[in-house]
Structure 1
Amino acid sequence: MPLKIKQAFLPEFLLTILLILTIFGCASVQRPMGGPRDRTPPKLLKATPENMTRNFAAKSITLEFDEYFKLTNQYAEIVVSPAMEKSPEYKIRQKSLVIDFRDSLHKNTTYVINFGKAIQDVNESNQLKNFTYVFSTGPHIDSLAISGTVTNTDTQEKEKEALVMLIPASQDTAIFGKKKPTIFTSTDSSGNFTLNNLHDGNYRIYALKEASPDKIYNNDQELIAFLKDPIHLTKDTSNISLRLFKQTPEKFRLVDRRFDGDGKLFFTFNKQLSDPSIKITYPKEIDETKYVDISPTKDTAMVYLRNMEFDSVRVAFFDKQKPLDTIYLRKSKKETFTRNIQFKYNLDGDNQLQPGKDLQLISNLPIDNFDPGLLMLTEDSVQVNFTMQKDPANLKLINLKYRWKQKSNYALTINELAFTDIYGDKNKKSIKKFTINKPENYGTLTLKVTVPDTSKSYIAQIFNATNNKTILKTVTFSKNTSIILKDYLTGKYRIRVIYDNNKNGVWDSGSVKRGTQPEKIWLYNKDIPLRANWETEEAVEIPGESTLP
């Protein structure tokens, strides 16, 4: 009997032991939790044949790394120079990468395999950037180098991870084609680059900040840089300065065209226009009642049509009265749209109004009329009288006028049906509370600007140091001048100067096809503080254009 008990118990005991080993075995291969994140890319331990091998005669290369890795977009990222008709095959075997050549190699030729960003570790996808393997089928390895920096023309900052491409002068048009460059690298965190193992000859050099990693300049939004003259490479060349800029497209194009949910037509242009205008050419009768709202940057437009009884509309675009394009948009005659009148106000982040300013109500829809009797303004909970005016040039803007008092609390109540938009829609009730900012929180800044050459023209742009995209003031001048910023909020400001070579009052981008560089920009190298209730004066000496990189 005891023997039977033991025989019955044994299978259950073994099953339990196996289950425990399985659980702990699975747990043992899990990645440890916690600790610093791994930011180290794979490291090459051994190459067979060795990197920089001369008289190379192998049919394959084996690269052994210190950790498991993966290849990402290898046929796009990995480039062999000079190019081969048949691309090599790339195989991962444990921690090694095996490269099998499927094409014969030229005699007495230096080959460079640039892996781009293809090699990444498995866990964190850390990239082994700009790793190259070099060999020569002859006794000599090309050893010339080109180095330099890439700068963003707009921000004047060094550009990291910009693609730098070297193209033989005989293949210069490759920058616009479908063929990827075979000689390239990317800039480091300081905007520096080096291209090694180069053969002597004539080259064109470009830098590209890509929208998509295809190593081809094929997008208006991409930043491009180039040297006008080719590089005659006979020795190591350094201090190459490339200035990235967004090229203004030569041909007008609509990037976006649509009916929005509220019924307006929305358009985005591929470039800023000088004096844009829009006309409805079909149905003709609705053109006279349209309202066009063009953005301050003149690259976006919204068109509001009072009459929506149509199934298709033809829209024509002009710049300085010159025709640019005509497009059609379709909709159903019975299509419905949802509109909700909403307002923004000219208040700061703390809901404070600048002293001496009118309260501006900025609607999301063009306003046809309003009833002041359905609005109520209270000052410390006491109702007060006020006046309101529509802006004759802007149907979305209403000015509310009142003699504001310091230390008072205001509340504007907009009751239902107070506003009617051009479609006949009414607003819902809303309340906006605000106060008046203190006069001592504003100051005056005077910039004493000295120019290097009075025969040339300059454009100064003033912006907040924390937001260089919003230009607060623009001044064009050609001689020493004073730029006054009166009643500006306290904070730090910066000045950027454009060298307006053609004296047209705007910054002009370059053109790769025409070989023209963008107009240079100089950024004053310090923040200018504006203290509360204080008049600040700053001397700004603009350097000569020839001294800039």
Structure 2
Amino acid sequence: MLNQKPAFFAKNVSLIFVILFVFGCAAIQRPQGGPRDLTPPKLVKATPPNMTRNFNAKEVTLEFDEFFKLTNTYQEITMSPTPEKPPEYNANRKTLQIKFKDTLMKNTTYVINFGKAIQDVNESNVLKNFTYVFSTGQHIDSLSMSGTVVNSTTQEREKDATVMIFPLSQDSVYFGKRKPSIFTTTDSSGNFSLNNLHEGSYRIYALKESSPNKIFDNDKELIAFSKKPIVLSKDTSNIRLALFNQVPDKFRVEKKFGNDGVLSLLFNKRLANPSVKVIYPAALNDEKIVELSKNKDTATVYMRNMNWDSLRVAVYDGNKPLDTVYQRKQLKESFVRNLGFKYGINRDNRLKPGSDLSITATLPIASYEQGLMILKEDSTTIQNFTITKDTASTRTVYLKYRFRPGRKYQLLLNEAAFTDIYGDKNKRTAVNFEGDKQENYSQLTLKVTVPEQGKSYVVELLDDQKNLLRSDPITGNTSIVYKNYLTGKYRIRVVYDNNKNGRWDSGNVRQKQQPENIWVYDKELLLRPNWESEEPLAIPKEQINP
């Protein structure tokens, strides 16, 4: 009997611990259901208060209405003017303590910008553009700059872009090298406001970056700038900044060598007249096939002769050599290739009226056997079709036949119907499509009026996915006819083609060169079935970016 009581006591103690553990875990679970919290932390008290004059404190305490966390503290938070020793930021539950490590200058307005550093704990809602302002003198700087940030090519407003300014005396030293001390982030409408600024001359920029360091250090990032300095003596508004992908100063090539033995060369900018030459082994130069992209910023190199272990390829623009790339492989290395095809039909598997069927292979075609191709029209086998090569592409052929609207077609490519330059043959494959009806297409005539005769413009037609369908350079009032376009929604975009090269050209922030301006017609054009319509298009006079 004496041994049973401790055993009973131990068993009940264990049970109590299990119950406490279960209920303890349940107590810290987040509530289930209900609306998601979308509200960022809110400041409820600041000690000393925000906008304090004659500030002489050694630290600041900020209290918020909920638990919060700091993220990317020393990337997001800046203090202007910047002290030699940055402050120390300590977050604890609902309180943020800022300890100054350096002596503050006299009669100076200081602005601590928290960027996107303050976020609530549960949903990471960001308290954007929160600032704490104080002055060590009687006066607080109160000037402001405000405006909007848009995308150059779409003319749509850009949210979450960083807008930054540098005093003109620091611009050439700090921009692109150091994080700005004065910055803000655009709201959901692309608007921005910089406040509590001291009078003086500034350079203003906007940056849409991939990494949150607030430094323009990558040509793939979007940048905007004002060409003229902003002389701030009063509040300045209606600043417009247009983001663009900068034309890189230096030409570079990125190479990719696939497991199919194809060498892809990706240029960091488009070229006017690109070409590719095999430097070593020189005898293989005549063995290559080069395919350039439509934008002339990519070259795909197919080597008929793969009997090499080292390849050196040079990229030219006109007669000017730009860069050289090297590629190594094992002399007898094997590759995996799959000869597949794309067909010239739309996303609804319909062939445009009056068109031939294009067949584009994934690799250059060496030969084909028409006898191994079977074309059926409404289940009836067709004999009187022909196959012709595309003179502009080694990967494309055209199946010519009088395709009829509304008829169902099937093209069967039996095994070995096509052979690529490496001797690979296709596997058996088929595609089904329909001859589209003419009533599914429309004709649009644009009656274009230009603001200044003799100047150059490029009128561009875009689909509802903002894909460029057609470009027409013009220099005066004219009519542009779009025939046989699928019914649907379209937009018009106009480039102010200042250098008269027939396309849009980007800018360069370091050379203080703005991109060419673009105007987007605000009306969406609806093409109805089997309909011919006219649309007046009055291009407005170009608004020059400052």
TM-score, normalising length from structure 2?
Answer: 0.97
| d(CA) in 1 for partners of 2:199, 2:20 | 64
> After superposition, where does 1:381-400 map in structure 2 within 5 Å?
381-385=379-383, 386-400=385-399
Q: Are the aligned partners of 2:255 and 2:325 in contact in 1 as well (CA < 8 Å)?
A: no
**Are residue 545 (structure 1) and residue 542 (structure 2) matched?**
yes
- Is the Cα contact below 8 Å between 1:174 and 1:181 reproduced in 2? no
Does the CA contact (< 8 Å) of 1:81 and 1:112 recur in 2? yes
| Range moving further from structure 2, 241-250 or 307-316 | 241-250
Root-mean-square deviation (CA), in Å? 1.7
User: Structure 2: which amino acid aligns with 1:276?
Assistant: P
1:510 aligned residue: 507
* Aligned residue among 520, 536, 539 for 1:523: 520
Q: Which residue of 1 aligns with 2:348?
A: 350
Give the counterpart letter for 2:369 in structure 1: D
Q: Is 402-411 or 206-215 further displaced after alignment? A: 402-411
490, 495, 500: which is aligned to 2:492? 495
Match of residue 486, structure 1, among 483, 488, 505: 483
Larger deviation, residues 29-38 vs 437-446: 29-38
Q: In structure 2, do the counterparts of structure 1 residues 58 and 371 end up closer, same or farther at CA, with 3 Å as the change threshold?
A: same
Contact 1:42 1:67 survives alignment (8 Å): yes
Q: CA deviation at 1:67?
A: 1.5
Q: 2:460, 2:471 within 8 Å by CA — same for their partners in 1?
A: yes
The equivalent of 1:264 in structure 2 is 262
1:547 Cα deviation after fit? 8.3
Q: Distance in 1 between matches of 2:19 and 2:327?
A: 67
Which residue number in structure 2 is paired with residue 59 of structure 1? 58
CA distance in 2, matches of 1:443, 1:175: 55
Instruction: Identify the residue that residue 146 of structure 1 maps to in structure 2.
Output: 145
Quickly say closer, same or farther: Cα 1:176–1:136, change in 2 above 3 A: closer
Name the residue aligned to 2:532: 535
Out of 271, 274, 281, the residue aligned to residue 272 of structure 2 is 274
Change (3 A) 1:513 1:12: closer
After TM superposition, give the deviation of residue 542 of structure 1 in Å: 0.5
Partner Cα separation in structure 1 for residue 174 and residue 504 of structure 2: 25
Cα deviations by residue, 1:318-356 (Å, 9 ceiling, x for unpaired): 112322111212122122111110000011122111111
Check 1:11–1:513 CA distance in 2 against 1; reply closer, same or farther (3 A cut).
closer
Query: Hey, what's the Cα distance between the residues in 1 that align with 2:488 and 2:334?
Result: 47
Contact 1:176 1:218 in 2 (8 A): no
Q: Retained in 1: the 8 A contact 2:107–2:136?
A: yes
Deviations 1:409-453 (A, max 9, x none): 211111111111011111111011111111100111101100111
Q: Measure, in 2, the Cα distance between the counterparts of 1:290 and 1:9.
A: 87
Deviates more, 1:417-426 or 1:21-30: 21-30
1:489 positional shift: 0.4
Q: For 1:312, give the aligned amino acid.
A: S
**Aligned residue pairs, count:** 545
Counterpart code for 1:347: I
The percentage of aligned residue pairs carrying the same residue is 59
Is the contact made by 2:252 and 2:268 (CA closer than 8 Å) also made in structure 1?
yes
2:369 maps to 371
**Structure 2 SS opposite 1:218:** coil
Deviation at 1:105, TM superposition (A): 0.9
User: Amino acid of the residue matched to residue 60 of structure 1?
Assistant: E
Q: Distance in 1 between matches of 2:373 and 2:495?
A: 47
After TM superposition, give the deviation of residue 9 of structure 1 in Å: 4.1
Unmatched tracts of structure 2, length 5 or more: none
Q: Provide TM-score, normalisation by structure 1.
A: 0.96
Question: Which of 299, 302, 305 is matched with 1:304 structurally?
Answer: 302
Could you give the per-residue CA deviations for residues 473-499 of structure 1, whole angstroms, max 9, x where no partner exists? Answer: 111111111111101100111111111
Q: Which residue of 1 aligns with 2:332?
A: 334
Q: Which residue in 1 is equivalent to 2:114?
A: 115
Unaligned runs of 5+ in 1: none
How far the C-alpha of 1:363 sits from its partner, in A, is: 0.7
Q: Is the 8 A contact 1:175 1:217 kept in 2?
A: no
2:322 equivalent in structure 1: 324
The whole-number CA distance in structure 1 between the counterparts of 2:20 and 2:38 is: 33
- Aligned amino acid, residue 140 of structure 2: I
Deviation at 1:250, TM superposition (A): 2.6
8 Å contact from structure 1 (residues 175, 216) kept in 2: no
Residue 304 of structure 1 and its aligned partner are, at CA, apart by: 0.1
- Residue 25 of structure 1 deviates from its aligned partner by 2.0
1:153-196 C-alpha deviation (Å, 9 max, x unpaired): 11011111111111000011145442111010011111111101
| Residues 17 and 320 of structure 1: CA distance in aligned 2, closer, same or farther (over 3 Å) | same
